[in-house]
Amino acid sequence: MLKSQSAKHLKANPMPNKMFRFWISWRHNTNTQGPFNLQWPWWVEGVNGDDIIYAAVIAKSPRRAKHIIHQAYANREAEMEVELDYRFFEVKPEAWTPFSERFPRQDWMVWP
């Protein structure tokens, strides 16, 4: 079984068409960061606006995966850089799926 690896240890993608699966979590405060719209699978835990977001995305690199997350925030039109406090950012094996009893699949989620 392959272990997940930290995205910061992922070297430049030697195969430009290869996509990687990322499991990402960050702290989110709706009052300061505003809402976000992400079609990839994501779940939220927390109360009173101080939430923990868990998301799965497929991208060519860690940089692209972070770009997907940052682009999901609604205040992008102001060209403001959303500061995110990442809890973890992991590269997962090719066959990995984020879905489980804790993180159930929903119809709106985009995932192969």
- Over residues 18-68, the pLDDT tens digits come to 999 999 999 988 777 878 889 999 999 987 668 999 999 999 999 999 999
pLDDT score at 61 = 95
In-domain check, residue 109? no
In-domain check, residue 38? yes
Q: Which residues pair with 28 in a beta bridge?
A: 51
Residue 78 in this model has a pLDDT that exceeds 80: no
C-alpha closest to that of 53 among 67, 41, 42: 42
Q: What is the rounded distance in angstroms from the CA atom of residue 15 to the CA atom of residue 95?
A: 18
Q: What is the rounded distance in angstroms from the CA atom of residue 77 to the CA atom of residue 95?
A: 35
Average pLDDT over the chain reads 83
Which domain range does residue 87 map to? Answer: 18-92
In-domain check, residue 88? yes
In-domain check, residue 62? yes
In-domain check, residue 71? yes
In-domain check, residue 50? yes
Give the number of domains in the chain: 1
In-domain check, residue 112? no
Q: Which is it for strands 20-29 and 42-47: parallel, antiparallel or unpaired?
A: unpaired
Residue 12 in this model has a pLDDT that exceeds 60: no
In-domain check, residue 3? no
Q: Count Cα neighbours of 41 within 13 Å in the Cβ-side half-sphere.
A: 18
